[in-house]
Amino acid sequence: MKKIITGALLLCMVLSFTGCQFHYGKPSEMLEKLEGWAENLGQSQITEEEDLIGERILSEDSYVGRYFADGEDETGKDVVFGGASIEKRQLRIYGTITTESGKATVRIRQNWDVTELETDEEGNFETNLSLDNGGNYIMINYEDFTGTIELYSEYEEAEGSTL
């Protein structure tokens, strides 16, 4: 019985604090707040600059920019671009993986779905992404990789998506 009463009191307190936090304003203001919270949450998933195997240069935001890595026997994962958002985005992802040994794979996480990008014979890859709201990330997985990686992410017009 004490657990039920304690749980009910905690629920009341949480709801009270939540009610104080929201000032029922304009819908656009609420969307801005939600987007800010989502962005903060999403940033925690991106690899910090000092922990990257390669080098990232962001452009407009955390979804677009360029990444270059010159690795020697690297193993690990860089979450290079992306974040969490309530907005939809259209991206073009392209680049080249030049492998001397080991393996490096570009992976796209769209909420719960993860896709690995295929490279052609020269190591080139390219895709257009239609990102829904939620958590969307562009990652590189390294397995004893020696070689170079060039990765570019840029916004595109909403024409269609191959992923």
pLDDT in tens, the chain (163 residues): 655 666 566 666 666 655 555 555 677 776 666 656 656 555 668 899 999 999 999 998 999 999 999 999 999 999 999 998 878 999 999 999 999 999 999 999 999 999 999 999 999 999 999 999 888 999 999 999 999 999 999 998 755 555 5
pTM given for the model: 0.75
Extents of the domains making up the chain:
39-155
CATH 2.60.120 is right for the domain spanning 39-155: yes
d(CA 101, CA 116): 19
d(CA 62, CA 71): 23
